[in-house]
Amino acid sequence: MAGFYTKRKKTGKKKIHTQAAVTAVLMLLSFAAGALTYRALTRPPQTDAGLTYIEEIPVVTDFLPEGCRARPGEKREIKYLVLHETDNFSAGADAAAHNSFIHQNANAPEGIVSWHYTVDDRQIYHHLPDDENAYHAGDRMEKNGGNLNGIGIEMCVNEGSNYEQTLLNAQKLCARLLIEYDLKPGALRRHQDFSGKVCPARLIESGRWDAFCAAVEQRYRELKSVQ
Task: Give the pairing of strands 53-54 and 124-126.
Answer: unpaired
| Complex with Zn ion: residue 98 or 191, whichever CB lies closer | 191
Q: Which is nearer to Zn ion, 46 or 195 (CB)?
A: 195
> How many chain residues are in contact with Zn ion, going by CB under 5 A?
3
- Under 8 Å between Cβ of 188 and 83: yes
* Contact window for Zn ion (CB under 5 A) among 39-47, 64-72, 164-172, 192-200: 192-200
Query: CA 48 → CA 51, 53, 81, 98, 105, distances in Å?
Result: 8, 14, 14, 21, 23
Residue 119 binds Zn ion (CB under 5 A): no
Q: Is 191 in the site for Zn ion (CB under 5 A)?
A: yes
Select from 106, 153, 178, 199 the one that contacts Zn ion (CB under 5 A).
Answer: 199
In 77-192 the beta strands, taken as DSSP E runs, fall at 80-85, 117-119, 124-126, 150-155, 188-190
Of residues 50 and 196, the one with the C-beta less far from Zn ion: 196
Q: How far apart are alpha carbons 43 and 48 in whole angstroms?
A: 9
Q: Which stretch binds Zn ion (CB under 5 A): 38-46, 162-170, 180-188, 193-201?
A: 193-201
- Encoded amino acid at 76, one letter: R
CA dist., res. 22 & res. 15, Å (int): 11
Q: Is 82 in the site for Zn ion (CB under 5 A)?
A: no
Give the interface segment with Zn ion, choosing from 38-46, 162-170, 174-182, 188-196 (CB under 5 A). Answer: 188-196
Per CB under 5 A, the list member of 71, 84, 127, 176 interacting with Zn ion is: 84
Q: By the criterion CB under 5 A, which residues form the site for Zn ion?
A: 84, 191, 199
